[in-house]
Amino acid sequence: MTLSKHTVKSYDNDLQNISSTIEEMLDLTIISIDMVLDTIKNNLPDSVEKITAHDYKINSLDFLIERKVTAILALRQPMAVDLRYIVSAIKVSSNLERIGDQAKSIIKKIINAGDALLDEKLRAPLLEMISLSKVMVKDSVKAFNNQDLQISELVLEKDDEIDEIYSGLFEIIDNSNFDKVKIAKIINVMFIAKSFERLADHATNIAEINKYVVTGEAK
C-alpha cells in the first residue's frame, strides 16, 4: 500500500495489516468467482455446497476487518487520508462480502437454468460478463490498496462494457424463438446476467470508495 509512513512504526504495521487482510479477502472472493465460471462451463452439481462453505471464510474476514478498524480508530486517532482509508476499509470488505453472496446466489441460478446454458449464444455473453467482473474486482481492490485513481477510472469504464453485454443478451433472447419449456429456464439466465451486473456494481463501488479516499470528495 502507498499510505505515508508514520513516526510510530506499529501504526504502519496496523495499516499494512488491514491492507493484507483485504488482499486475503480478495483472494477468497476471486475463488468464489472462479467457482461460478467452473459451474457455467461444467454444471457441477456439488457447487452450491462448496461455495456455501467457502463463503463462510469470506464472511469471517469481513468481521475481522471490522474489528481491526475499530481497534485502530480507538488507539491511533487517524486523520485525513489515513482516516478515510481506515474507515473505508469496512466499506470495501462489505462490498467483497456481497460479491461472495452474489457468487453463491449465481451458482444456485445456474443449476436452475439447466440445459439452457448449453446454448452458446446465451452462455458466451455470461462467460464474458463474469470474466470481466473478475478483472474489475481485482483492479478495484488494487486501486484501493494503492490509492491509484487511474485504476479506479479503468474499473468504472469496464462497468459500461458490462452494461453493454447485458443489453446485448436481452436482444439475443428477444430475437430468438424458444419453446415454452425452455423459456422458463431462460428466465434464470436473465437472473444470472442481472446478478453479474450487480457483482460488477460492487467493484465499481470499491473504485468510487478509492476516489473518496484519495480526494476526500464523496460522489
CATH number, position 149? 1.20.58.220
pLDDT of residue 59: 96
106, 196 Cβ separation under 8 angstroms: yes
Cα separation of 139 and 136, whole Å? 5
Burial class (CB in 10 A: 0-12, 13-18, 19+), 120: exposed
pLDDT of residue 5: 58
Confidence bin at 112 (pLDDT 50/70/90) = confident
Which tens digit of pLDDT belongs to each residue from 2-40? 555 555 567 778 889 999 999 999 999 999 999 999 998
Which H/E stretch holds residue 76?
A: helix 47-76
Tell me the pTM.
Answer: 0.90
Q: How many domains does the chain have?
A: 1
Please report whether residue 3 resides in a domain.
no
Percentage, residues of the chain above pLDDT 70: 93
Residue that wins the pLDDT comparison between 78 and 159 = 159
Please report whether residue 120 resides in a domain.
yes
36, 103 Cβ separation under 8 angstroms: yes
Reading the block at residue 191, the C-alpha cell is 437472473
Q: Which of 57-61, 64-68, 110-114, 212-216 has the lowest mean pLDDT?
A: 110-114
CA-nearest of 108, 92, 103, 111 to 34 is 103
Please report whether residue 90 resides in a domain.
yes
Which tens digit of pLDDT belongs to each residue from 147-173? 999 999 999 999 999 999 999 998 888
The domain of 23 spans: 9-215
65, 89 Cβ separation under 8 angstroms: yes
Please report whether residue 211 resides in a domain.
yes
194, 145 Cβ separation under 8 angstroms: no
| pLDDT higher than threshold 80 for residue 187 | yes
In angstroms, how far is the first alpha carbon of the chain from the final one?
23
Please report whether residue 4 resides in a domain.
no
Backbone angles phi, psi at 175, to 5 degrees: -95, 5
Q: What is the DSSP string of 135-191?
A: HHHHHHHHHHHHT-HHHHHHHHHHHHHHHHHHHHHHHHHHTS---HHHHHHHHHHHH
Average pLDDT rounded to a whole number, residues 67-82: 87
Average pLDDT rounded to a whole number, residues 44-73: 91
Cα separation of 192 and 114, whole Å? 12
pLDDT of residue 117: 79
